[in-house]
Every structure is written in C-alpha cells, then in structure tokens.
Amino acid sequence: MNPDIIRERQNATFDVETLTNILDLGPEKTKRRREIESLVLSDPDFNEKDPNFLARSERYDQAVRKSAAMILKLREYGISDPEEILFYKRLAKGHHPEALALHFVMFLPTLYAQCDPKQSRKWLPLAESFQVLGTYAQTEMGHGTHLRGLETTATYDPATQEFVMNSPTVSSIKWWPGGLGKTSNHAVVLAQLFTQGICHGLHAFIVPIRDLDTHEPLPGITVGDIGPKFGFSEVDNGFLKLNHVRIPRENMLMKYAKVDLDGTYVKPPSDKLMYGTMVFIRSLIVGESARALAKSCTIAIRYSVVRHQSEIQPGEPEPQILDFQTQQDKLFPLLAMAYAFTFMGQYIRETYQRITGDISMGDFSEMPELHALSAGLKAFTTWAVSSAIEVCRMACGGHGYSRSSALPDIYVDITPNCTYEGENTVMMLQTARYLVKSYQQAKAGQRLSGTVSYLGEARQQRLQPQPMAAGQTVVDISDLASLVDVYKLRAMSLVELAANSIQEELGKRKSHAHAWNNSAIDLVRASDAHCHYVVVKVFTEKLGQISDPAIHSVLSTLAQLYALRGIKQNSGDFMLAGLLKGSQVLQISARIKELLSQLRPNAVALVDSFDFNDKSLNSVLGRYDGNVYENLFEWARKSPLNATEVHESFHKYLKPLRSKL
Amino acid sequence: MNPDIIRERQNATFDVETLTNILDLGPEKTKRRREIESLVLSDPDFNEKDPNFLARSERYDQAVRKSAAMILKLREYGISDPEEILFYKRLAKGHHPEALALHFVMFLPTLYAQCDPKQSRKWLPLAESFQVLGTYAQTEMGHGTHLRGLETTATYDPATQEFVMNSPTVSSIKWWPGGLGKTSNHAVVLAQLFTQGICHGLHAFIVPIRDLDTHEPLPGITVGDIGPKFGFSEVDNGFLKLNHVRIPRENMLMKYAKVDLDGTYVKPPSDKLMYGTMVFIRSLIVGESARALAKSCTIAIRYSVVRHQSEIQPGEPEPQILDFQTQQDKLFPLLAMAYAFTFMGQYIRETYQRITGDISMGDFSEMPELHALSAGLKAFTTWAVSSAIEVCRMACGGHGYSRSSALPDIYVDITPNCTYEGENTVMMLQTARYLVKSYQQAKAGQRLSGTVSYLGEARQQRLQPQPMAAGQTVVDISDLASLVDVYKLRAMSLVELAANSIQEELGKRKSHAHAWNNSAIDLVRASDAHCHYVVVKVFTEKLGQISDPAIHSVLSTLAQLYALRGIKQNSGDFMLAGLLKGSQVLQISARIKELLSQLRPNAVALVDSFDFNDKSLNSVLGRYDGNVYENLFEWARKSPLNATEVHESFHKYLKPLRSKL
C-alpha cells in the first residue's frame, strides 16, 4: 500500500463503511452487493484480456462470450432480482457495454408490454431461451428523436394476410440499434402502418432477420455493422435495409392496436401507453451518470494524492498534487456533484416507482411531472457528467490520456447518453414546455403540485428579493435552506423570462411555433435552472435523513460546495434576478475556498465510500492501494506493439529510406 | 450535389474565395497551398485505408509508411519551405499525427540548437539521412511539467571519459516521448548531470538506444510502447529505462554547458537559451487549435443544413436542423471562435517572429511578454477548442458519435494539447505571475508595454465604469471598440482581485508561496480574462485590415457574436465589476439572437471559406457535396465486422446457449 494513501485514510473524520451503507440504502444491501460481486471476482471466466489490447472483432467476441457466460451463471446461482442482476453485470462488464444489452433492455420488455396473449405464448419462450435474439429497431439513418419522421413502411396485404416491410429510401435504413449488426436474429421494427390505403402512424412489428439455424441474413434483408464509433466497440450497432420483406399479420404487436384479417385497423385505447419504458430508462440514466462520475472522481482523487509534482514552497519536496488549490477546485466540486447526482438518481427512481404505482391504479395526474422531471434531469446530468469526466481526465495530466487510466473508456461509454433515449436539447425543451405551461396555469390561478409548485407561489413572495438591490440582504450563503430558496427564485425568474420572450415574439405577429423557436435559448436555460434547483433541493433534503454527525457534517460541506459553485458559475443570473449583491458573490468565492480546504482531509475517504472494486474501476491510476507507477509499467509492457522488439515497419520502410536518399 | 447545400451557397452575401485569400494571408498563398495539396490528392500512394478500420499495429505501420513516403516525395518535388512542407503534410496526415513527428519537431531542432561544431559535423548528417532516427526524452513516468523534479541521472566517469546514464527508480523511467517505443534508434535524454560529486541540474545527452543495423535494443536499454491511448494510435509513445548505460563524453550536447575531460563543469552563459522552442510550439498550438475547430465547425454546419429533423411549424416538412435557434446557438458562437482563434494564431506567430527578431538583436525586453502570451493563449484556446469540438460532435446527433463523422478523431488528436507542452493550469498560472508582476510594477509607477499595458492605465480611468451602477451607461453593446474596452476593464478588475487576494493571504502571515497557492483560483480566472480580452482585441483590430465591404460586414457580425457571447457567459464578472447593468445583460441576450439570425444565410459560406479539402476532413457528415446518407451506407459496409455475414461468436457462444438452458 502506498504510504501517501494510507495517511489519507488515517486522516478521515468519518467512518467510510457507514457512508457506503447510506449510498447503498442500507447495510444489508451493501452486504448482498458484495456477496454478488465476489461471485464475479472469484470466477476465472471473468479474468479476460484487457479490451484495450484487443482489436474490435476480438472485443465483440469477448463481449458475446461474456454475455453468454453471464446468462448461464446467473441462472446457475439463481439470481433473478433485477437489482442483483445489475450488481453482477456491472462488475462483470466494467466500463464496457454488454453485447446482448438490447435483448434484455428493449426487446424482451417490448414483448412483455405489447404482445397479445397468443403472441406472448409464441414469442416469450423463444426469446427467453435465446433461440430468438432480438433488438429494437427504431431510429433510421435520417431520423432520430422525431419519431413521426420515420420512413420505414409496413403495408398490409389482405390477399396473403401479410405485412410488407420496406425501406423506401437510403435515409430510411434502420441505423444504430445495438446488437442489430451481427448478434440478433429478430428485430422489433418500428414502421408506418399502411392498411386499406391509409397511414395509421408508427407501430411495432416482429421481423425475423437471420436464419435461426445458420444465422445467415434472410432474403430481402441487408443487415450489418454500422462501423467503428467513439466507443461501444463491444457492440454491433447495426443497419437494416428491408426490401419488401413479408411477415405474417400476427407479427404486428397487437396488445393495443390491431389490424384484422381484412385489413381493418383497430385503434389503441390510448397513445400514451408506450411512454413508460422511455421514462424509466431516462431515470436510470441519471443514476448511471452519477456512477460514471463517481468512478472518475475516485480515479482522479486517488491519483492526486499519490502523484507528487511541482512545488508550492520552493526547496520543499514536491507536494501531492491534491494540495494545489486549482486541483481541489477542479475535483471537489465534481465530487460534490457525484454525491448530488447519486441522491438525485435515488430520488427519481423512487418517484418513478411511486408515480407508476399511481398510474397502475388509474391516476395519471403526475405523469406529466414525471416525464418533465426525467427528461430534464437526464439532459442536465449527462451534459454535466460528460464534461466532468473530461475534467477528471485532464486533472490526471498525461497519464489520464492513457487507456490505463480508464478515464477515456468511462467517457466514451457515458457520453452517448447525451444523445440517445432523447437528444438532450430536445429533452430540455420538453421540460421547458411543462414549465411554461405550469407557469401559465399558475398565473391563471390554478394550483400546482410537484417540483414545479414554486411557480405558483404568490407573486409578492417571488418579488421579495428585489429590495436587495438597495442593500438589504435576505440570502444567508452558509444556510442550505436559503440556498435552495435562491435557486428556486432564479429558476422562477428564468421561466418568467422565457415565457415573456414567447409573449414578445407573439406580439410581433409570429406564429406560436416560431415564437417558441425564437425563445428556445431562454427555454433551455429555464429548464437548466429548474433542474439545478431540484438537485440542490434533493441533496439538502437527503441531509435531513442522515443521523451520523460526522457524515452529516461532511455531506453538508459537499452540498454547500455544490450549491455555491453553481451560484458562482451562474452568478450573472442571480445578480440579474436581484437575488445576490456583488459583495455576496465575493463572499461566495471566499467561502468556496474554505470549503475546499475543509474537504481536503476527507477526499480519499469520500471516494472510498463509493466502494468501487478495483476490477470495476480497471484503472491503474485509481487503484485502491495507490501503487500506480509499478503497475503502469506492468500494464504498458503488455501492449501488443511490445510483442516483438522490432516492428516490421523498420525493415519495410525505415531502413530502405537510407539508401534511397 | 445535395440541393439544400446548393441553396445555402446561393444565399451567401459575400465571395468565398476572397475570404479564403484573407485567411491564407494572400491569394498567392491560396494558390500555392492548393498546388501543393494537389500533389497529395493526385498521388495514389496516399489512397490508404481508412485508419478507423485498422488495428493499432496496422495504423502505426501505415503511418510509418506514409512518413517515409513523404520524406522521399518532398525531396523529389524539391519542397523545402517549412510552410509548404506543412501544407503537404497536413493533407497527407489528415487528423492523425505523423509517426516520425518527434524526429522533425524536437530531435533535429535540438541538435541544430545545442550541438557544438564538432557534434554538428557528426550528428547532423546521420540524422538528416535518417540513419539516426531520434526523439526527445524529457518527461518521466513520475514527472511532467516540473522539470526540476526529473530523476534520470548522467554521472560523469573521468576514468573512461563516459557518462553513466541511469534510471534509478520506476518513476524515473522516461515515459510518453513520441516515436520512442519502436521507431527511434537514438534519443536526446534530459538528465541530472553529476560530475565531481556535484549535481549541476538538467542537461541533454544523445543516447543510442537501438542498433543501427538490426534495430534491436542495445544492452542496458529497456524500451517499448506505453500502450494504447485515447488517440494517437499512429504514434509509438514510448518508455525508456536506462540501466547504467555508458555513452561517450562527447554525447553531451555541449554548445553552451560543457564537461571537460577531467570532469570540470563549465556553466552555460545563460539558462534561458533553451526557452525558445517551447514558446514557438505553444504559439503554433494556438493556430492548430483554431484549425481543428474550423474543421469541426465545417462538419457540423454542413451536416446541419442537409439534416432535416423534427418540426418547428406542425404539419410542415421537417426543417433543416440549422434553423433551430438552439442549433445556431451551439454552432455559430463556435464558428465565431474559430475565426477569432485563427486571427489570434496569425497574430501570435507574427509576434513571435518580431520578438525573436529582437532577441537575436540582443533585445530581451519583450521575452516575458511573449512567454506569458504564448503560455496563456495556448491554455485558453486549447481548453475552449477541446470543449467546442465535443459540442460540434453532439450537435450532429448520433452520427457525430460514429467514426465516420471524423469528429472523434479531431477531438482525440487535439485534446492532448491541453496537457503537453505545458499543462494548461500551470500555463495559466505562469501568465498570471506576469500579470500580477506587471500590475505591481504599474502601481509602483513603472510604464508597461505590450498587451498588459492596460494594467498601467490611470486609476481614475479604471474606475470610470463605477457610476453606471447609478444608471449611467458607458458601454455601447453594438460597438466593438466599446466591447474591447469592457473586456479590458473586466481583466483589470480580475487581476486586481487576484492581487488583493494574495495581499490578504500575506496579511494572515502566510508565506508568499502559500498566499500564491491560496489565490490560485483567482489567478487562473485573471489569466483567462486577460486572454479573452486579447482575443477580442485582435479580432477587432483584424477587421480594420479588411476592405471588402461584404466580408467586413459578416466578420464584424462574427466578432460581435464572439464578444457578446463571452460577456453573456461571464455576465457575473462584468456586473460585479460595475461594467454592465442588468438591463444591458438582457439587451445582450436579445442582440445575440439577432446576430444568430443574421449569420444563418452565410453559415455554409463561412465554413467553405476555410477551404478544407474533403480528404483533409475525411468526414462523411462534412462532405462538400452534402451527400451524406449514401456515403454513410458505403462507409459502414466497409466495417471489418462486415467482412463475413456471420461472426464466429454466433457458433462459439450464442447457438450453444440454447442447449445449455
């Protein structure tokens, strides 16, 4: 064990195990998680090659092998609880996606949700026994978030009682679905349904794409891998071109909408029934983003206490780089963010469970709130985390750029979350639509509930901070409740600003659609402020549930840092809304410096509390024992370029150069 | 040609070729550049495989082949002007680094600068004929920017008149030098010189590391590749462990410092003589960052006019995504930044030439200014560009994440600039040191020159904006000169703030070193504001040289957008310094929207003006003809995973799964 990191752990002011239990939502959960993790750790089948040293086809191969192994082993161990499966897979997968992910997270859930009873009897046994391996083919080369734009057609032919599935243009080729290129033999294809000459919009169809036995593509099917990406080398994101492929009528998923034998279309009872999965995945993304950031902070902070560099006091030994204020200012706000987003992830999961419970009881009243919350927070957290991981990487200097740090892998694994499951800007605008609508309802005297209820607070109360401009102070920067309040008032002022912008544009005789587009910058900003408020609020409320005084203290410090750093970075908004005076902005800067110093002794303990196993981090820089340099050398020697002492290019190109000159 | 992109070009209000000439610094330069580029374009040897489809060893192989080919061809064509070589190499290399780069940019220049005449006669012919292939081995596994911390030793042994080169620890292993792993047979090694029992600090030594003939590592040498990185797959960044390797006394570079036969050390006349190369490279990086951003904007903007998605007006066809205000707000400020940094790159190169001219005439007075300017602007531009490229990538939706977009390649090629040639935070602090020193000199009554001269402007003038708080406005947001002024005043206020923070810390009886560290956040912020001011100023001054009215108009719009966006994003600073009222901040937001609309018709023409050949972009999304989708499909089909219809993993893992369950 590196002596620096030992000393860091001795200096901590709180008990790491207790905080781990809080993060896991109870000591029993911690225990069970570790039991499951030990199954992976003790299993020689998961001692695979570092994917960094493999070519893409080998990485895909290894990922498929692992997917198959996980299926068999989980069954063998009798692990079937979704959370426990997640514990197992997280450790087995590392930072890399699972080859069969789409079968589990999209194909099977779609079958469960949208098969009628007869279809369930046919398809579920096939899919659950992996004879049918499936994916979910929605996006097309030319069409993403805007589903109505999809071009693939499914035209019913009553003569044969078949649907003719077709990709009419190049831009209509299905593009991006995970597992579509090489792995899947079936796909749920989203297509515009035509019957009796009328288009009834998007519906889902089960399309066989490869022979069950030979795995060769079926007639009329052009299928393959879309090529290398920034990350996701393990996954065969694919394309699918359908050339008038005929499938039986029964392959349309018919739990809700139906097409009768003669081609008569039967409408679904509601078009909101397909909503749930997307909202669920978006709320999961919040937690996964938090996890990626927590890993990155663990790596960067552990490395920053074993790395010595430069000087503070001339003549003294090189200090640990975490002693530089600039390094603390890079990493501690991100550590605070990792905690904030972890609690936010827990909150949104609980909210999802509560509201879907209500929905299943027939109460749809909170569905818009849930949708707006998950859309906005998915965007807010993934954007923030994406940038934050790169800050962590750069905080590790050159070695952060090495694949041995794992930070590049964590980055490319998480950054697509900004785009998939709803492009972030589109998500922010959806949340903004809800905010503006709520604001207008409140103005019209309606009562609001949920996270937006502040938009209905009395106008007088909203305007309270205004007198501050004349010198009167209402914000106490060392009181979290007061900080939650200013975040709320800032969000309110930005929602108001966006709503006013729309009114102004309408006043210029613009259509509502153009008024909306011409206010889009303000609308995104308003959503961002709303999400920021919710995160600060949830973090603050979480503190109320923590009884251990030492942990309460250090988490309060983190919460204050998170809140104050956000104010500092957006100080213009707060000053513009009359919420802060210049002198307070200066006080906040000074206070942030104090908080950084306060956190310094607990930095390593705070990342240790996330309790990432070394295998899960797969980072030479982030090792628990801090023994970075020896292991960096070991790792490098395994580089494939070191398999021979002399690379063939010397003989082919370099040596001949001499004689040619 | 895609009809959308044709229409865009028809709508432009200025002549693209004229702007290209301005960017090239004259029509003759444009002509010559294109002549040289056509040599690459017409050369079948450069029709190589897309590196995205190659494994790392193949990428390295292809890059070495290309390096060797470029040497032969440039000689054949008789191209020897450094700028013309750059034109040639840029196009031949694409976004990927050159395998032999370090031989050209570090090894040879070090020999030219530090060999004594006898050494020159021996080494230059060997290195210029590529019998000796070299690199520059400075950084060690445990030591980067802080050179005094390097551990490698060179101990003189007068008995044999040799230096004993040694890596005493794991952390002292040379780490990161490009071309060190497999390519080079020699390295300039930076090591602590010991002679007669005394350490004389860092000196440079020529160390043979591989046999000239067999290329096998020499005795005592452990050398190899440091393993895969985030990018730079073409380059064998390497490690070098020296186990008491003996080299002749003559292998110490002796132009300045010397060790006599008996071990007597002779000091160099000045220790600043090794400074120049670093400053030169940092100023080049500013221009290269601008170029990477210009490429990224070209890709994202061209794609945004051929991509149709979503809706603005319900029922209407899907609009070009560049018509969304949010898309404009993402991309146009970055386009403005690309222009700003291009002009900044030109300015800093001219400044470098002017000041090094002075230095060669014995005038060292502007050296600190040059050093501070290049350090700060290297950090300012690379940080900004690094984030900006990712914004461009995400603005392309899912396809931005595909390697076919080229955006991931551009990103990983440019982001290490934030770390190498001086870690950015360290660079910002070096610039801050100069700013604070200048500020104190001005306070003590000294006259300042160069970009910091504003720090000496009369205190009264500095305080002029203060009355604004009482309602008086001095800033005209539509006047660029006025915007340069507020940037200047903001920088001044932040330098003052940082200097005051140091004073306060000193007042708490902190040592100067700790006072500095406890003010580091403010110091970095001050440097950032100074650099921002310089960029706005240089852009504004550039406009004065442009006579074509249409081009003057569109560049003025860009300059205003660059300046106002920066104010909006840092509005707290400007309000805090009393430079802007809240009402003006709102005006600025409204003005930014107007500028976005004004730029919309010229967006494609503004990126066309950068005149990147399609080969140089290597981006399916950024093609000049806008024919994205057909070519995306073509590209994907070449993915190595598509070489066979059925991947072996199906037979190995997936099919057997069925029977095992």
Q: Is position A506 within any domain?
A: yes
Q: How far is CA B148 from CA A310, A361, A516, B144, B412, in A?
A: 8, 70, 58, 10, 29
Q: Where are the alpha helices (DSSP H) in B234-366?
A: 276-306, 325-360
d(CA A418, CA A388) in angstroms, rounded, equals 13
Give the model's pLDDT for residue B360. 79
Flag whether pLDDT at B459 surpasses 90: no
For residue A200, give the CATH number of its domain.
Answer: 2.40.110.10
Q: Are A329 and B521 in contact (CB < 8 Å)?
A: yes
Q: Is position B165 within any domain?
A: yes
Which residues are within 8 A (CB) of B262 and not within 5 positions of it... i.e. 6 or more apart? B158
Residue range A491-519, pLDDT digits in tens: 999 999 999 999 999 999 889 999 999 99
Nearest by CB to residue A416, choosing from B308, B401, B425, is B401
SS3 A269: coil
| Residues in chain A closer than 8 A to B148 (CB atoms) | 311
**Token couple for A526:** 């308003």
- Residue the block writes with tokens 């939502």: A25
Give the model's pLDDT for residue B543. 98
Give the model's pLDDT for residue A469. 43
Flag whether pLDDT at A465 surpasses 80: no
d(CA B238, CA B241) in angstroms, rounded, equals 10
Q: Where are the alpha helices (DSSP H) in B78-191?
A: 82-93, 101-102, 108-114, 117-128
The number of residues in chain B equals 661
Nearest by CB to residue B145, choosing from A310, A576, A589, is A310
d(CA A480, CA A464) in angstroms, rounded, equals 18
- Residue the block writes with tokens 């904030």: A340
Higher pLDDT, B250 or A49: B250
Residue range B287-314, pLDDT digits in tens: 999 999 999 999 999 999 999 998 888 8
B618, B491, B513: which is closest to B567 by C-alpha? B491
Q: Are B661 and A75 in contact (CB < 8 Å)?
A: yes
Give the model's pLDDT for residue B472. 46
A294, A257, A251: which is closest to A388 by C-alpha? A294
B143, B632, B560: which is closest to B401 by C-alpha? B632
| Residues in chain B closer than 8 A to A520 (CB atoms) | 324-326, 329
Q: Are A649 and B513 in contact (CB < 8 Å)?
A: no
Flag whether pLDDT at A341 surpasses 50: yes
Q: Is position A259 within any domain?
A: yes
Q: Which residue of B has its CA nearest to A65?
A: B653
d(CA B433, CA B427) in angstroms, rounded, equals 10
Q: Work out the pLDDT band at B95, boundaries 50, 70, 90.
A: confident
User: A513, B315 in Cβ contact below 8 A?
Assistant: no
| Residues in chain B closer than 8 A to A420 (CB atoms) | 398
| Residues in chain A closer than 8 A to B636 (CB atoms) | 224-227, 239
Q: How far is CA B524 from CA A373, B435, B498, in A?
A: 36, 11, 9
Catalytic: which of B151, B421, B496, B505? B421
Distance from CA of B38 to the nearest CA of A (A): 24
Residue range B124-134, pLDDT digits in tens: 999 999 999 99
Residue type, B249: R
CA angle A466, A470, A475 (to 5 degrees): 55
Flag whether pLDDT at A470 surpasses 60: no
Give the model's pLDDT for residue A132. 98
Distance from CA of A10 to the nearest CA of B (A): 24
Distance from CA of A313 to the nearest CA of B (A): 5
Q: Is position A384 within any domain?
A: no
Tell me the average pLDDT across B327-339.
Answer: 98
- The DSSP H or E segment spanning A272 is none
Residues of A forming the active site: 421
Give the model's pLDDT for residue A280. 85
Strand partners, A225: A238
Going through A109-180 in order, the beta strands assigned E by DSSP cover: 134-137, 153-157, 162-166, 174-175
Residue range A88-114, pLDDT digits in tens: 999 999 888 999 999 999 999 999 999
Tell me the average pLDDT across B119-147.
Answer: 95
**Token couple for B122:** 């021996």
The number of residues in chain A equals 661
Q: C-alpha dihedral over B58, B62, B63, B69, to 10 degrees?
A: 160
Last residue of a domain, one of A268, A297, A318: A268
Q: Is position A12 within any domain?
A: no
Last residue of a domain, one of A268, A298, A333: A268
d(CA B596, CA B112) in angstroms, rounded, equals 50
- The DSSP H or E segment spanning B382 is helix B367-395
Give the model's pLDDT for residue A273. 59
Residue range A569-593, pLDDT digits in tens: 999 999 999 999 999 999 999 999 9
Q: How far is CA B410 from CA A227, A463, B392, in A?
A: 18, 48, 11
Q: Is position B120 within any domain?
A: no
The phi and psi torsions of B194 (rounded to 5 degrees) equal -110, 125
**Token couple for A153:** 């057609």
For residue B513, give the CATH number of its domain.
Answer: 1.20.140.10
Distance from CA of B21 to the nearest CA of A (A): 35
Give the model's pLDDT for residue A268. 87
Strand partners, B402: A229
Q: For chain A, how many structural domains are there in total?
A: 2
d(CA A97, CA A541) in angstroms, rounded, equals 33
**Token couple for A64:** 């498929």
- Residue the block writes with tokens 């009881």: A361
Q: Are B313 and A514 in contact (CB < 8 Å)?
A: yes
Tell me the average pLDDT across A269-298.
Answer: 86
Q: Is position A643 within any domain?
A: no
Q: How far is CA B514 from CA A317, A540, B446, B510, B517, in A?
A: 15, 33, 27, 6, 5
Q: Work out the pLDDT band at A367, boundaries 50, 70, 90.
A: confident
d(CA B447, CA B445) in angstroms, rounded, equals 7
Flag whether pLDDT at A55 surpasses 80: yes
d(CA A603, CA A625) in angstroms, rounded, equals 15
Instruction: Please enumerate, by residue number, every residue of B annotated as part of a binding site for FAD.
Output: 139, 178
Q: Are B325 and A517 in contact (CB < 8 Å)?
A: yes
Tell me the average pLDDT across A375-400.
Answer: 98
What's the mean pLDDT when you consider all of chain A?
A: 94
The 10 Å Cβ neighbour count of residue A269 is: 8
Flag whether pLDDT at A215 surpasses 80: yes
d(CA A395, CA A307) in angstroms, rounded, equals 11
Strand partners, A163: A156, A247
Q: Are A586 and B570 in contact (CB < 8 Å)?
A: no
End-to-end CA distance of chain A: 54
B223, B256, B17, B433: which is closest to A641 by C-alpha? B223
**Token couple for A511:** 């259509």
Distance from CA of A17 to the nearest CA of B (A): 32
Q: Which domain holds residue A521?
A: 425-447+479-610
The phi and psi torsions of A162 (rounded to 5 degrees) equal -130, 160
| Residues in chain B closer than 8 A to A640 (CB atoms) | 56-57
A520, A539, A392, A536: which is closest to A454 by C-alpha? A536
Q: Is position A371 within any domain?
A: no
d(CA B562, CA A546) in angstroms, rounded, equals 47
d(CA A655, CA B215) in angstroms, rounded, equals 9
Q: Work out the pLDDT band at A473, boundaries 50, 70, 90.
A: low
- Residue the block writes with tokens 């708490």: B508
**Token couple for A271:** 């078009």
A19, A49, A24, A23: which is closest to A35 by C-alpha? A24
Give me the percent of chain B exceeding a pLDDT of 70: 97
Q: pTM for the full model?
A: 0.97
Tell me the average pLDDT across B214-231.
Answer: 98
Size of interface A-B (CB pairs under 8 A): 388
- The DSSP H or E segment spanning A203 is strand A198-208
Residue A135 marked as a ligand binder: no
- Residue the block writes with tokens 């009554």: B445
Instruction: Considering only CA atoms, give the Rg of chain B.
Output: 27
Q: Are B182 and A386 in contact (CB < 8 Å)?
A: no
d(CA A60, CA B164) in angstroms, rounded, equals 48
Tell me what ipTM this predicted complex has: 0.96
A1, A112, A14, A2: which is closest to A601 by C-alpha? A14
Give me the percent of chain B exceeding a pLDDT of 90: 87
B230, B390, B418: which is closest to B297 by C-alpha? B390
Last residue of a domain, one of B239, B268, B297: B268
| Residues in chain B closer than 8 A to A524 (CB atoms) | 326
User: A181, B641 in Cβ contact below 8 A?
Assistant: yes
Q: Are B403 and A228 in contact (CB < 8 Å)?
A: yes
DSSP A317: P
